[in-house]
Amino acid sequence: MNNDYLTISEINKIIKYTIEGNEELRSVYIKGEISNIKYHSRGHLYFSLKDETSKINAVMFNYDRYLSFNPKDGDSVLVHGRISVYEASGSYQIYVDSMEMDGIGNLYVLFEKLKKKLSEEGLFDKEHKQKIQESKINNITIKHENGIYTGIININTNHTPLEHSFEAVGIDMGIRRPLTCSNGLKIEEFDLTREEKNVKYYQREMSKKQPGSKRYCIAQKRYWKALNKKINKKNDQYHKITISILTCLVSTNKIWI
């Protein structure tokens, strides 16, 4: 009996073409937790995404051009990409082209569990709280790095106490208006509708193109540009809120700068 034997390279190529020919696998959205992350010197990111029972290998090329944060093991993330096969090893993986932090990650869940445990032990009861000593803020430094704003406050506790004021400082964080201060300052609602619409539009455009083609690369470039614009606008709004809160407190003599 004559049998046509396939080589390993041939069977891996068939599997690759079969997977890449599946439209549902050309554009997939996955939620998972990062593990075994490795930063390559050439700017590539290798890691695994896992849930309670399974995992999938992942790779992201030129991550430093697109990510606004530094992912690490244990982070819960939302990724978009395509599924394909690495022929040399015969393993399938997801080629990630976008990544965002998940709103509620594993670290947050662990924090909430610890908070609940300490609360049940009574460590947050009022009798355990100490009065905060009045202090003078020497300076406030706000840094922007990797898409994250960090505030550093330097305090000097040796100063003459502030004159007492009976004027209340109100900061209302609402749904219809994110910030309303008692000094009359108001910050309007975030409007990211246009940015979110553009991101979704270019995601759909990428899914319609052949991965690696010129049109796919153009759509991918426009997608990253739209996503970064959305992230930057949201970060600017958070920065504006931080400055507005400090301005409100200073204007009512609640803190010194």
Owning domain of residue 21 = 8-107
Residues 32 and 148 in one domain: no
Alpha-carbon distance 171 to 250, whole Å? 13
* Residue 91, in any domain of the structure: yes
The predicted pLDDT at position 257 comes to 40
* Residue 13, in any domain of the structure: yes
Q: Is 16 exposed, middle or buried (CB count within 10 Å of its CB: 0-12, 13-18, 19+)? A: middle
Using the 3D structure, point to which of 107, 123, 144 is the last residue of a domain.
107
Over 90: is that where the pLDDT of 191 sits?
no
Residue 41's SS3 state is coil
pLDDT band at 186 (very low <50, low <70, confident <90, very high): low
* Residue 225, in any domain of the structure: yes
Residues 22 and 84 in one domain: yes
Q: Where are the alpha helices (DSSP H) in the chain?
A: 8-20, 106-120, 193-208, 214-251
Sorted by sequence, the CB contacts under 8 Å of residue 171 that are 6+ apart come out as 179, 180, 181, 182, 245, 248
Domain count of the fold of the chain: 2
Q: For 3, which DSSP code?
A: -
Residues 87 and 174 in one domain: no
Question: Does the model's pTM come out above 0.75?
Answer: no
* Residue 2, in any domain of the structure: no
Structure tokens that stand for 173 in this block: 């964080």
Selection from 103, 65, 81, 100 nearest residue 225 by Cα: 65
Residues 207 and 249 in one domain: yes
Residues 90 and 147 in one domain: no
Residues 217 and 255 in one domain: yes
Over 70: is that where the pLDDT of 67 sits?
yes
Residues 181 and 83 in one domain: no
Secondary structure (DSSP) of 169-186: --EE--SSSSEEETTS-E
Which residue(s) pair with 45 in the sheet?
Answer: 39, 60
* Residue 112, in any domain of the structure: no
* Residue 116, in any domain of the structure: no
Using the 3D structure, point to which of 90, 107, 124 is the last residue of a domain.
107
Tell me: the pLDDT tens digits for 105-151? 555 567 678 888 888 888 778 777 766 555 566 667 777 665 566 77
* Residue 243, in any domain of the structure: yes
The predicted pLDDT at position 76 comes to 86
Backbone angles phi, psi at 84, to 5 degrees: -150, 180
Residues 97 and 141 in one domain: no
Selection from 46, 20, 22, 82 nearest residue 206 by Cα: 82
Residues 90 and 177 in one domain: no
Backbone angles phi, psi at 126, to 5 degrees: -60, -35
Tell me: the pLDDT tens digits for 90-104? 899 999 998 988 865
Residues 142 and 235 in one domain: yes
* Residue 113, in any domain of the structure: no
Length of the chain counted residue by residue: 257
**CATH number, residue 95:** 2.40.50.140
Query: How many C-beta neighbours within 10 Å does residue 175 have?
Result: 6
Residues 203 and 250 in one domain: yes
Residues 80 and 145 in one domain: no
